[in-house]
Chain A
Amino acid sequence: MKKNRFRLALVPAVSSAMLAFGCGQSQPAPPAASFSDSSPVCVDSQGRRVPDDRCRDRSPTFYHWYHSSHGGAFVPIGGSAGGRSFSHGSSSHPSSVTRGGFGSSAHSSGAGA
């Protein structure tokens, strides 16, 4: 079973970023440095923000996580997260692209087994 030394490049970088941002503390860890800096909020089918619990439960889904790609400005409950829908609102994105259709079943503790 002898093996070569590991030559990992990505794991040390990502884990260091997570530690720097407080992973392991009581607050949720932010996305690793190499990921999007988007800030998810839970929205209904009209793009209005609703309590995040509705996106976390596993009932038939009418709610979606919305990821702002513009710094994650604060959106109050009932406020509009992205204009018309939960799709990206940036004009640089094709209007045919929607996001948030995966991820609603996830538990914060992970998706692994």
Chain B
Amino acid sequence: MERIPIAPRPNWQAEVEGLGLVWHTAEGKPYWNESAYYSFTAGEIDEIEGATAELQRLCLEAGQAIVDRNLFDRLGLPAWVVPFVRRAWNDEPPALFHGRFDLGYDGRNPPKLFEYNCDTPTALFEAAVVQWDWKEAVLPKRDQFNSLHEKLVAKWRDIAPSFLTRNIHFTHIDDEPGEDTITVTYLRDTALQAGLESTPILIDDVGWDSARHRFVDLDNRPIDVLFHLYPWEWLVNETFGPHIAESYDSMHWIEPIWKMLWSNKALLAILWEMFPDHPNLLPAFFEPRGGDYVRKPLLAREGANITVVQNGRTIAETGGDYGEEGFVYQQLFALPDFDGNRPVLGSWIVDGEPAGMGIREGGLVTGNTGRFVPHVFTSSR
């Protein structure tokens, strides 16, 4: 694993904007950073891919344990949600079954799980499309751990017959950077290539028809299938939340409500309880156990409300609105340091299988200001 500086393409902003990456710069600094790339050996990619598959297996076992042993109180879920989570877990409704494992990896030791972003994962478009386009333009003879696009199209094609409609509604917030808008638009594109149709609707515009007991779009058409880049913990706690139960039998949610089991950081402590000393896990608990650790709210997003404690002192802390729901305490992992750049691997799952990787660099905490850096690997062993 190496970090190799390289001259950015002179017109890189126009190149990535042409693909759709309109949020390439944040606060005057590149979010898309092609002034360097990461290079891996095929063996290292095999290790990352294998760890990703293994972590998915562990998460399946942990999810089953939560359901079987009724551990929902550890996740802080509203009581009315539990029967629907349990039912969705058992029924396995059609979904993309996708997500992003955030991993610590230094090229020498096994990858370690930081968290699983599997409800509303972003950094997808840049991983699937933009870094591949960069590789083809800059290092065409190298390879890349990236089959995201094909797997997404294939999964839409696989689940399409499950629905009574060809028309999927896609919802998200009206975000200022455009990241959510384009991420969802990209997923609409992959559905389109699978032969489906799509209707976009902002989350605020989703209507509730109390006469028909259905969620409706802006034309008051019932929504049969809804892809949502909007977290389940927000959906169930908002004004329309109870209507989810009322209309549950008449619509499909992608991803399903059981994703609340995995997007909750309580999963990290449950995994460690079930698989202590697993090489791909970091010790994690529901209370501090001493040593150096990272305190994470159960439901935080984008690196919010994270506290890093080393030698008994807080050495980094991020702000935010989370924490009332409780915390987990995960052993601090020393990210590799490439001249001050600390990479976190985002290893993707689609249809339950490893599907590619994106890398973001940050400081001690990788939040939504991290820089995305492309990667390649050497095919020969």
Q: Does B183 contact A (CB under 8 A)?
A: yes
List residues of chain B with CB within 8 A of the CB of A15. 17, 19-22, 178, 182, 185
Contact of A12 among B19, B193, B210 (CB under 8 A): B19
* Contact, CB under 8 Å: B176 / A104: no
Min Cβ gap A42→B in Å is 10
Q: Does B258 contact A (CB under 8 A)?
A: no
List residues of chain B with CB within 8 A of the CB of A6. 129, 132-133, 149
Min Cβ gap A104→B in Å is 5
Residue of B nearest to A103 (CB): B204
Min Cβ gap A97→B in Å is 5
* Contact, CB under 8 Å: B147 / A3: yes
Tell me the interface secondary structure of chain A in the complex: loop
User: What are 23 A-B interface contacts by the 8 Å CB criterion?
Assistant: A1-B145, A10-B192, A10-B198, A11-B189, A15-B19, A28-B176, A35-B201, A35-B202, A36-B202, A65-B204, A97-B208, A101-B206, A102-B203, A103-B173, A105-B234, A105-B237, A106-B173, A110-B368, A111-B120, A112-B120, A112-B180, A112-B302, A113-B117
Contact flags (1/0) for A1-28 with B, using CB distance below 8 Å? 1111011111110110011000110001
List residues of chain A with CB within 8 A of the CB of B119. 113
- In the complex, A109 Cα to B150 Cα: how many Å? 29
* Contact, CB under 8 Å: B207 / A97: yes
List residues of chain A with CB within 8 A of the CB of B147. 1, 3
* Contact, CB under 8 Å: A11 / B185: yes
- In the complex, A64 Cα to B129 Cα: how many Å? 36
Contact flags (1/0) for A67-109 with B, using CB distance below 8 Å? 1010000000000000000001000011011111111111011
Task: Given A1-B143, A3-B132, A112-B120, check contact A11 B182 (CB 8 Å).
Answer: yes
User: Interface size class for chain B?
Assistant: 35 or more
Contact of A110 among B19, B200, B211, B302 (CB under 8 A): B302
Task: Given A29-B176, A112-B180, A112-B301, check contact A23 B22 (CB 8 Å).
Answer: yes
Residue of A nearest to B145 (CB): A1
List residues of chain A with CB within 8 A of the CB of B172. 111
Q: Which of B207-262 contact A (CB under 8 A)?
A: 207-212, 216, 218, 220, 229-231, 234-235, 237-240, 243
Q: Does B56 contact A (CB under 8 A)?
A: no
* Contact, CB under 8 Å: A58 / B17: no
Which among A6, A24, A111 has the greatest number of chain B C-beta atoms within 10 A?
A111
* Contact, CB under 8 Å: A64 / B145: no
* Contact, CB under 8 Å: B204 / A99: yes
* Contact, CB under 8 Å: A96 / B238: no
- In the complex, A51 Cα to B142 Cα: how many Å? 53
Q: Does B144 contact A (CB under 8 A)?
A: yes
- In the complex, A64 Cα to B207 Cα: how many Å? 12
* Contact, CB under 8 Å: B189 / A19: no
Residue of B nearest to A11 (CB): B20
Contact of B230 among A12, A61, A98, A111 (CB under 8 A): A111
List residues of chain A with CB within 8 A of the CB of B125. 11
Min Cβ gap A101→B in Å is 3
* Contact, CB under 8 Å: B238 / A61: yes
Q: Which of A20-54 contact B (CB under 8 A)?
A: 23-24, 28-29, 31-32, 34-36, 38, 40
Residue of B nearest to A6 (CB): B129
- In the complex, A91 Cα to B56 Cα: how many Å? 50
Task: Given A10-B185, A10-B188, A112-B301, check contact A24 B25 (CB 8 Å).
Answer: yes
Task: Given A29-B176, A108-B175, check contact A101 B146 (CB 8 Å).
Answer: no
List residues of chain B with CB within 8 A of the CB of A98. 207-208, 210
Min Cβ gap B164→A in Å is 22
Contact of B208 among A11, A101, A104, A112 (CB under 8 A): A101
- In the complex, A18 Cα to B155 Cα: how many Å? 29
Residue of B nearest to A98 (CB): B208
- In the complex, A76 Cα to B178 Cα: how many Å? 28
Contact flags (1/0) for B66-106 with A, using CB distance below 8 Å? 00000000000000000000000000000000000000000
